[in-house]
Chains A and B, each alone.
Chain A
Amino acid sequence: MTATTHTTAAAPLAPVEEAHQVRRRRRLAPGRRLPATRLVGPVVVLVLWIAASAAGLLDPGAIPAPWTVLETGTRLWTDGTLPDDILTSLQRAASGFVIGLTVGILLALVSGLTRTGEALIDGTVNLNRAIPTLGLIPLFILWLGIGETFKIAIIAIVVYIPIYLNTHAALSGIDSRFVELAEVQGLSKLRFIREVVIPGALPGFFVGLRLGVTGSWLGLVVLEQINATSGLGYMMFQAQNYGQTDVILVGLVVYGVFGLISDSAVRIIERRVLSWRRTLSS
């Protein structure tokens, strides 16, 4: 008996220490975001472009050098054609967007807050969604002529659909627990809508808004390149006929800048309005 107790008392000391080493968990989330990381990719592309052009690796007829594009851009800007085209395009996109936004919100409110509205509107919009909007172009040209009205109408349709769909889904998907709460607190119908339903639907609305903004640029590009006599797309279309790649690139850069600015604007507004959400994700 004495022999066994001796051995068991001495032996286990060494391995215990090893077993007690704390194992650190592998971190699964990507970690903290670095500042301005979203610019890294574009900057790398730009640097590669400059380097390849300087080294003479690119055919200037297919992809002109960045400085050529810059020169052409400055020339078009100073002779007044570029500002004119930009203004025309912006007006189209903005009018279509504002109309689409208004219609989308109004329809979503009526359809999301009343049963009659839902019966009348929701099915109709979904039918409209089933038809690709750009496929409506020939019909709209016959109805409205080939002027500005038809372009604005098409852009408005491209914009209103995602805004309607997302806002309507958010309005009608309100958490039933919050409905119960509003009943308990004795809220009037109006205050219920204003203080519970609409704030609760804002995140969904913003999803639709961002899709709508993207849609308005997409609609604009398509419309201007096939049936226009002015605007950025027309400028690019003309350049294609004369093989002016640099002018086409100027147009693309302007489109890109517009897209970035509008998307950032929506993001900033969204972050302001939905500031309460940051507390959930942190």
Chain B
Amino acid sequence: MAPHTEQLTRPAVQLRGLTRSFDGRTVLDGIDLDLPAGQLTALLGHSGSGKSTLLRAIAGLDHGVTGWGSPLLERSRELGGGQLTAPERVSVVFQDSRLLPWRRVLDNVLLGAEGKDAGRRGRAALEEVGLKGRERAWPGELSGGEAQRAALARSLVQQPELLLADEPFGALDALTRIRMHGLLRELWERHRPSVLLVTHDVDEAIVLADRVLVLDQGRIGLDLAIDRPHPRSYRDPLLGEYRERLLAALGVTEDHR
């Protein structure tokens, strides 16, 4: 883990005191968050704990949060009564693939891509996610897993420094999800963006992430570094200890199971 130390000194995202409430109900209560550059961080939390709200605020998609400027164009800005520093190139992967049904797969991947070599980059990205040969398919012809891979390719084309993913594998079956975990990890190792992965799947978080945060009562309740080498096995007994701690932080105790 030596090469990490140099990167850790340079946070990709620095968030101080983000507060967000809906109709007087506070969902995020002064969140402080540092995401080191090139790290894969998972964010866990109960349903309704505000994970999506936090991610959308960082992505600049929450137009209701005070201090919203333009989507992360400035390197530092006011946000929700706090301060956010984030990289210029940010990309988001949603739970649904969100491919435009009227554009072929390659054109979807190139949505918003600029430059003469965009087409080449799009093809390369599709090849990386294993969709070579499906460039001219319509989104309606893809399976759920393929569509989600196309969505990953669309993010790759943007060459993001920060990749925000909101339960990207939540709608996939268990087998496809495990494959996608491998793919995400592989892509991350090759391109090294900072990743914030929102999930409600404790095992997914433990297997993929270098660090797991638990959002609770509008604050980061637990910040846990997962210090195990990759690739990790779902059955690694040493991960069991992390799982216990995370489940405890989520309020799931033995008698609940």
A binds B: yes
Give the interface of A toward B (CB within 8 A).
Answer: 177-178, 180-187, 191, 195-196, 199-200, 202, 274, 276-277, 279-280
Q: Given A191-B112, A276-B138, A279-B141, is A184 in contact with B102 using a C-beta cutoff of 8 Å? A: no
A244 to B96, CA, bound (A): 65
Q: Does B30 contact A (CB under 8 A)?
A: no
- Select which of A183, A200, A277 is within 8 A of B60 by beta carbon: A183
- Select which of A177, A199, A200 is within 8 A of B98 by beta carbon: A177
Give the interface of B toward A (CB within 8 A).
Answer: 59-61, 71, 90-92, 94, 96, 98, 100-103, 111-112, 138-141, 154, 158
A180 touches B111 (CB 8 A): no
Closest chain B CB from A279 CB (angstroms): 4
Closest chain B CB from A225 CB (angstroms): 42
Q: Given A185-B158, A202-B102, is A279 in contact with B138 using a C-beta cutoff of 8 Å? A: yes
Of chain B, the residue at the smallest CB distance from A203 is: B102
Q: List 11 A-B contacts (CB under 8 A).
A: A177-B94, A183-B60, A184-B92, A185-B154, A186-B112, A187-B112, A196-B100, A276-B103, A276-B138, A276-B140, A279-B141
Q: Which residues of B contact A181 (CB under 8 A)?
A: 94, 98, 100, 111
Q: Which residues of B contact A200 (CB under 8 A)?
A: 100, 102
B61 touches A180 (CB 8 A): yes
Q: Which residues of A contact B96 (CB under 8 A)?
A: 177
Q: Which residues of A contact B154 (CB under 8 A)?
A: 185
Question: Once A and B bind, how many residue pairs between them come within 8 Å at the CB atom?
Answer: 56
Closest chain B CB from A204 CB (angstroms): 13
Q: Which of B94, B112, B140 has the most CB of A within 10 A?
A: B112
- Select which of A185, A187, A280 is within 8 A of B101 by beta carbon: A280
Q: Which residues of A contact B98 (CB under 8 A)?
A: 177-178, 180-181
Closest chain A CB from B171 CB (angstroms): 13
A204 to B21, CA, bound (A): 37
A178 touches B100 (CB 8 A): yes
Closest chain A CB from B128 CB (angstroms): 18
- Select which of B91, B100, B103, B140 is within 8 A of A184 by beta carbon: B91
Q: Given A180-B61, A279-B138, A280-B140, is A187 in contact with B111 using a C-beta cutoff of 8 Å? A: yes
Can you add 7 more A-B contacts, CB < 8 Å, to A185-B112, A187-B112, A199-B100?
A181-B100, A183-B61, A186-B71, A274-B102, A276-B138, A276-B140, A279-B141
